[in-house]
Amino acid sequence: CLFLLALSGMALFTPSLFFLTGLFGGGQTTRAIHPWIGVVLFFSFSGLFFRFWKLNLWKGEDNRWLAQAGDLVAGHEERMPEVGKYNAGQKMVFWGMSVLILVLILSGLTIWDTYFFDYTTIPTKRIAVLAHAVAAVVIISVWIVHVYAAIWVRGTISAMTKGSVTGGWAWRHHRKWLKELVTADRNR
């Protein structure tokens, strides 16, 4: 949904990218389906949010991980502190996406004149258009960083697509989480 929204939104944002509307059946169709894809994104992400928000609460280990992120970038992953299921970078992506999707749905509903024209004023719509555009640029940037990081860390793409990781991968990247799983398994 985010990819489709980015393409259709960029097509609607500037005349130089209007050719992208051809992917959606033309300008009028793009304008009609863009908000509906946004609604689908909001509700599908809401399911993910309520499933994972507790696992993404910030902890002290996240501050240490963030302070040592330079080691990770420099290729010294062994120096990184042990983390649970999600590291600080993953948590920042989660919370960033959560906030940005909320801004996008609220601003999008505000400017969706087909259904909500009578409920907002022109000045409010102007602010909403600006907020929508800024949030869209930021969320596309977050998505690009997220994809890059997933490609950069070997084994992450298969973990994201298959939903499981090897013990070796977990030991290398999320050691505290692996220890918690092993301890929980022993206690059963």
CA nearest 101: which of 136, 150, 126, 52?
A: 136
The rounded distance, in Å, linking the Cα atoms of 45 and 154 is: 26
Catalytic residue, candidates 34, 146, 173, 174: 146
The rounded distance, in Å, linking the Cα atoms of 121 and 4 is: 29
List, in order, residues 6 or more apart from 7 with CB less than 8 Å away: 20, 23, 24
| Cβ–Cβ < 8 Å for 98, 21 | no
| Cβ–Cβ < 8 Å for 177, 85 | yes
Note if 174 is an active site residue. no
User: Would you please indicate which residues are annotated as catalytic (active-site) residues?
Assistant: 146
